[in-house]
Chain A
């Protein structure tokens, strides 16, 4: 006969084991596809079709080939330039716009926020032909600037919303102290708010960067050559010598290279990214 006290302990122990197994299961489900991509990228020839979970023989040939491949290396560079520019422009525009939206009450403020929110839900294909025309008019088809322009529709409403939320949390006293000292609106924003907000600026900038780095529809439609083609498009168009046999080893190597910087960013900035993601949408 087990003592009730021990029974309780025993139950708790079982609960903890179940919980750990659950965690392990979730972790496996989240990580395995990426792990498998890494393993496949380190194999070549007939090895590639092996289904052993651990590579018997490691080769870096796929990586060597991908890095020297012109389409891929230029797309990597393009993606980096486009994503950086996109997040900088979005941040600059939204930093100014979020200030009155968060700190002042004026007619039209609510409507502005609602409009931004509605734009985040637009299907991107619905602006495709209009955007195509605009890009033709500006004569920037197949230029990096075309994608930076198109990405504003993705990043600006979202950044605006997140920034407004962050700025809203700054205590009123700080602003009032600055007004007492005779600071202008611009000075308050740049000298008082910007330093306080810099962690939030990093977060939102990062989110905009990731969004631009991952975007596919516009990148596929508005680029044609290596001059502006981004990584997702290069990956989608990766094909082998023959139509039927895709070079899976190469595709996996390229996939790993594209994803690794993002995973590092997310692991490092994990807390901030989560706070930004949830500040931008719903909290109930």
Chain B
């Protein structure tokens, strides 16, 4: 038995090594740097400044603005994605001709690299030449072109729009997997006894799906809180719509202030760690399934 245990760890060794090298060590160093005044040009030469970086951070208006932006994006986009994802999951769960095609089509937004999506939407939302303004004007919903990206408050709306478009498919797949693991007779009840689907959904499916929905929402929230790519492209350097990740990277790399940037990253890390604990405790169930 003892020999077998040693071989277990032998098999695990490369993986553990890689995880320590690429995740554990850099993470500890980032936390370490947040107590120093290190700069990007010279990472060897620094002195300890205690919690000064965190104090500066707490007084930084832009940081709180970024926290608020991140919060708004997560709180608005995750529920939207859940509702739309649920709708799509219910569509995909039905047995109909062309379901395979539908599944492939729904996957497309998820496949497209975030940067490409951001660029595509930036073009569609372009205030002068964009097709969205054009369509809205043709339908006479608006009188003048809307500056979707240039305007501070609207750029958050654009970011949420693109994020919802991009991640709803993923949400739909998670929820679809949940639907498929339910006892299938609860769907048949609708067809056989001609009970309105709305009723079956609220009374039976939704309560059964509750754990899946909660876990999927936490999972997506963790993702939304660290959002970077979309915001980087769609806010085009505008600090008014920056998120925590964008703020941290700007100070770390663009202003080469590793100490302060690391402090911002660490603050984000603790924020996410809190959410992770929540997530892991919900996902415990999954581990028991593994046994």
Interface size range on B against A: 35 or more
Interface 1/0 per residue, B249-291 and A, CB below 8 Å: 1001100001001100110110010011001100101110111
Q: Is the CB of B18 within 8 A of A125?
A: no
User: Would you list which residues of chain B between 1 and 15 have a CB under 8 Å from chain A?
Assistant: 4-5, 7-9, 11-12, 14-15
In whole angstroms, what is the CA distance A94 to B126 when docked?
44
- A239 to chain B minimum Cβ distance, whole angstroms, is 11
- B67 to chain A minimum Cβ distance, whole angstroms, is 13
Q: Is the CB of A263 within 8 A of B111?
A: yes
Contacts of A36 in B (CB 8 A): 120, 123-124, 131
Select one of A149, A216, A274, A284 contacting B212, CB under 8 A. Answer: A284
- A279 to chain B minimum Cβ distance, whole angstroms, is 9
In whole angstroms, what is the CA distance A150 to B23 when docked?
9
Q: Is the CB of A113 within 8 A of B287?
A: yes
In whole angstroms, what is the CA distance A34 to B215 when docked?
30
Q: A130-B25, A217-B229, A255-B120 are in contact. Are A118 and B276 (CB under 8 A)?
A: yes
- Output the residue of B98, B123, B229 with the most chain A CB within 10 A: B123
Contacts of B106 in A (CB 8 A): 26, 30
Interface 1/0 per residue, B14-53 and A, CB below 8 Å: 1110110111011111101100001010010000000000
- A55 to chain B minimum Cβ distance, whole angstroms, is 13
Contacts of A273 in B (CB 8 A): 107
Select one of A101, A105, A214, A221 contacting B12, CB under 8 A. Answer: A101
Q: Is the CB of A128 within 8 A of B30?
A: yes
In whole angstroms, what is the CA distance A134 to B23 when docked?
11
A282: nearest residue on chain B (CB-CB)?
A: B215
Q: Is the CB of B11 within 8 A of A33?
A: no
Q: A26-B88, A31-B105, A283-B177 are in contact. Are A125 and B113 (CB under 8 A)?
A: no
Q: Is the CB of B173 within 8 A of A282?
A: no
In whole angstroms, what is the CA distance A189 to B100 when docked?
33
Q: Is the CB of A124 within 8 A of B228?
A: yes
**B165, CB-defined interface residue at 8 Å:** yes
- B57 to chain A minimum Cβ distance, whole angstroms, is 14
In whole angstroms, what is the CA distance A152 to B258 when docked?
23
Q: Is the CB of B248 within 8 A of A283?
A: no
In whole angstroms, what is the CA distance A217 to B173 when docked?
26
Q: A129-B33, A281-B219, A282-B283 are in contact. Are A112 and B113 (CB under 8 A)?
A: no
**A205, CB-defined interface residue at 8 Å:** no
In whole angstroms, what is the CA distance A265 to B110 when docked?
13
Select one of B5, B23, B228, B290 contacting A216, CB under 8 A. Answer: B228
Contacts of A33 in B (CB 8 A): 109, 117, 120-121, 124, 165
Q: Is the CB of B120 within 8 A of A34?
A: yes
Q: Is the CB of B111 within 8 A of A126?
A: no
Q: A48-B129, A121-B279, A124-B228 are in contact. Are A104 and B108 (CB under 8 A)?
A: no
Select one of A96, A102, A132 contacting B15, CB under 8 A. Answer: A96
Q: Is the CB of B114 within 8 A of A119?
A: no
Count, chain A residues at interface, CB 8 A: 95
Q: A110-B287, A123-B268, A284-B178 are in contact. Are A152 and B22 (CB under 8 A)?
A: yes
Select one of A26, A29, A132, A232 contacting B114, CB under 8 A. Answer: A232
**A165, CB-defined interface residue at 8 Å:** yes
**B79, CB-defined interface residue at 8 Å:** no
Contacts of A258 in B (CB 8 A): 113, 116
15 contacts between A and B (CB under 8 A): A30-B106, A31-B105, A34-B108, A124-B228, A127-B22, A129-B258, A130-B30, A136-B43, A156-B19, A248-B123, A248-B129, A251-B119, A255-B120, A270-B107, A284-B211
Q: A101-B12, A114-B287, A278-B177 are in contact. List 13 more A-B contacts (CB 8 A).
A: A26-B88, A30-B109, A30-B169, A119-B19, A132-B40, A133-B29, A153-B26, A157-B19, A213-B113, A214-B115, A216-B114, A248-B123, A263-B111
Interface residues of B, Cβ cutoff 8 Å to A: 4-5, 7-9, 11-12, 14-16, 18-19, 21-23, 25-30, 32-33, 38, 40, 43, 87-88, 91, 94, 96, 98, 100, 102-109, 111-117, 119-121, 123-124, 126, 128-129, 131, 134-135, 165, 169-170, 173-174, 176-178, 181, 209, 211-212, 215-216, 219, 222, 225-226, 228-229, 232-233, 244-245, 248-249, 252-253, 258, 261-262, 265-266, 268-269, 272, 275-276, 279-280, 283, 285-287, 289-291
